[in-house]
Amino acid sequence: MLAALTGSKSSWMLLASERLKVIHVSTHVSLRTAIDRAKPERVLATIRTGYEHLKRMGYENPRIAVAGINPHCGENGLFGTEDDEFLRPAVEQAKAEGMNVSGPISADTVYHRAYQGAFDLVIAQYHDQGHIPIKLVAFDSAVNVSLGLPIDRTSVDHGTAFDIAGTGKANHVNMLCALDYAARLAGNRSEKGVAA
């Protein structure tokens, strides 16, 4: 909706926490559609978008990992060929452009490695592949950041919780984290010479 309202060609969802950051190639679509969208052009655009965002946030040389789409990245074609056909070319192009990117890396280990400090950002291929790890380790503190728009936008990393609205049960910590991230984005906008 925000992409349409701002006339943007595309947008991305980044979920950011202190120790784990994930950007998605696709989000709110079926798994079948997500697999179809994981083409080299979209994966490369996602890598570029995440890289530029981290540069804006002060990372000198962002370390990016691309999560595989199939179990064990397809195991040399045993479990599918999408990793070699679609993800690997995007990774190679990003490397050729000077980005510090690795992958595809099996999704069953890449998030643990990133959480332990090996990577600054993980490229998730679809919604649950990125959401599950971040919500496991930072449910009350992760921030949803919209990238690819001409505006800065942050939000809590979960839904609107209409079921508890007005009951006094909502935890405000996630909103404070979103506001803090927005303040850092705004500060980096002026510092990096990004047009306001």
Residue 108's pLDDT band, with cuts at 50, 70 and 90, is very high
pLDDT for residue 165? 83
Domains of the chain plus CATH, in order, are 2-160+167-191 (3.40.718.10)
Residue 166's pLDDT band, with cuts at 50, 70 and 90, is confident
Phi-psi label, residue 156: left if phi above 0, alpha if psi -120 to 50, beta otherwise: beta
Phi-psi label, residue 188: left if phi above 0, alpha if psi -120 to 50, beta otherwise: alpha
Judged by average pLDDT, the poorest of 33-47, 107-121, 156-170, 173-187 is 156-170
Read off the pLDDT of each residue in 99-121 and give the average, rounded to a whole number.
98
Residue 192's pLDDT band, with cuts at 50, 70 and 90, is very low
pTM comes to: 0.91
Question: Average pLDDT of the chain?
Answer: 92
116 φ/ψ angles, rounded to the nearest 5 degrees = -80, -5
Alpha carbons 30 and 105: distance in angstroms, whole number = 22
